[in-house]
Amino acid sequence: MAKISKRMKAATEGLDRETLYTVADAVKLMKDRSKTKFDETVEVSMNLGVDPRHADQMVRGMVSLPNGTGKTVRLAVFAKGAKADEATAAGADVVGAEDLMESMQAGDLNYDRIIATPDMMGVVGRLGKVLGPKGLMPNPKLGTVTMDVKAAVEAAKAGQVEFRVEKAGVIHGGVGKISFDEAQIIDNVNTFINAVVKAKPTGAKGTYVKRIALSSTMGPGLKIDVATIGA
């Protein structure tokens, strides 16, 4: 049996792990009990009644968090000419075409998101085996293949996050930092949850949102009362 650290004992002391909380109550508890020396990430975990092995039960999308993520997003854009200039002006970290493709083929994949203009997908397509497993392949359904490069870059930098259901029907998402004030965290959490709820696929049967938990990087999971968020 794994030994529980003193920090975790302190974080869980007095908590009933089966209690269902509102988002507001969970956020307050989480902030009050955070004792780490670094700025923990606030994470939402949702267990959904879907089987993503079936195409009509896949849950995936983008959501812009009103208060950002607190994380610096490293962004690459595949574009040429005026669109490349637009991406640079909007704040993209790296902009390129064949040269960027070759750099990524050589192993330079230190990016959180990759955006491409439609005319560049022939080049980007050669990176499918490299970008696909990392979830970095640009996708028009997610707005990462677009001619509106400026808006896509600005949204990514401002706190837009991607969510995608895993094999077990679980979605995880970082929705801010523990240093955010309570209202900011609550707003971000509710925005993320509501985006997942709205992304309910046509093939989902029965209860869609089964369980929700809120936690910080080093803190215990706090169960959220699904009924209180209108899911």
Domains of the chain listed by start with CATH number:
16-68+160-229 (3.30.190.20), 75-158 (3.40.50.790)
pTM beyond 0.85: no
The yes-or-no verdict on residue 35 having pLDDT over 70 is: yes
| pLDDT beyond 50 at 203 | yes
Q: Is the pLDDT of residue 11 over 60?
A: no
Cβ within 8 Å of residue 93, ≥6 positions away: 74, 75, 76, 111
pLDDT band at 21 (very low <50, low <70, confident <90, very high): very high
* Type and span of the H or E element at 122: helix 121-124
| pLDDT at residue 231 is higher than 50 | no
Residue 9: which pLDDT band, with cuts at 50, 70 and 90?
Answer: low
Residue 192 has pLDDT above 60, yes or no: yes
Strand order in the sheet with 170-177: 170-177, 41-48, 209-216, 222-224
* 75-78/113-116 β-pairing: parallel
Which residue, among 81, 135, 88, has the nearest Cα to 111 in the 3D structure?
135
Helical axes 149-158 vs 81-90, angle rounded to 10°: 20
Determine the pLDDT at residue 33: 85
